[in-house]
Amino acid sequence: MRQAHFYTLYRPKWYRKRVSTWWWAQQWRSFKFILRELSSLAVGYVGALLLWLLWSLVRGPESYATFLAWLRTPLFIVMSFIAFLFVLYHAITWFNLAPKAMPLRVGGKRLPEWMIAAPNYLVWIVISAAILWLLIGRN
């Protein structure tokens, strides 16, 4: 993880090249990095939606109906669509990063990356199916 650096007083200043604020727009790789980091906003959006849903459940059936009606407005559909793409991007980059973040060794040899990434995708499918069944399948 990137460590936060703090400026201290009385430190000799060495020459540093000034980095443009738009450094991440100059290369596809770094642009993808910023896109991935921006998925944090979409994650926050889903968290807020969930809290809102639970809050409406506590308040009663009318409140729940109002919540559903709000989600049907074009503004929320567009926001949800964009957020969905970002959340999907987060999931895929996260699973693909897992083998690099925690490589497993068996008998002194590193397991191939797909053997660590694949279970993540498998769990993803199972959990998604469970969510679908819990929310929709029991209607």
Partner 1 sequence: MAKRSNEPFLWSLFSGGGMIAAWMFPALLFLLGLAIPLGWLEAPSYENLLALVRYWPVRLILFGLCSLPLFHGAHRFRFTLYDGLQIKHLNELIAVVCYGSAIAGTVLAAYILWNIP
How close are the terminal C-alpha atoms of the chain, in Å? 44
At closest approach, how far in Å is the CB of 102 from partner 1? 9
* Residue 40 is a binding residue for partner 1 (CB under 8 A): yes
125 HSE (CA, 13 A, CB side): 5
Q: Judge whether 112 and 133 are in contact, CB under 8 Å.
A: no
At closest approach, how far in Å is the CB of 107 from partner 1? 27
Q: Which position among 111, 115, 118, 132 is part of the footprint of partner 1 (CB under 8 A)?
A: 132
Q: Which position among 3, 11, 75, 105 is part of the footprint of partner 1 (CB under 8 A)?
A: 3
Spatial neighbors of 99 by CB under 8 A, at least 6 apart, are 111, 113, 114, 115, 116, 117
* Residue 131 is a binding residue for partner 1 (CB under 8 A): yes
| Residue spans of alpha helices (H) in 1-139 | 28-59, 61-71, 74-101, 113-132
* Residue 48 is a binding residue for partner 1 (CB under 8 A): yes
Inter-axis angle of helices 61-71 and 28-59, to 10 degrees? 150
Tell me which residues touch partner 1 (CB under 8 A): 1-7, 19, 21, 24, 34, 37-44, 46-51, 53-55, 57-58, 61, 64-65, 68, 71-72, 76-77, 79-81, 83-84, 87-88, 90-91, 94-95, 101, 120, 123-124, 127-128, 131-132, 134-136, 138-139
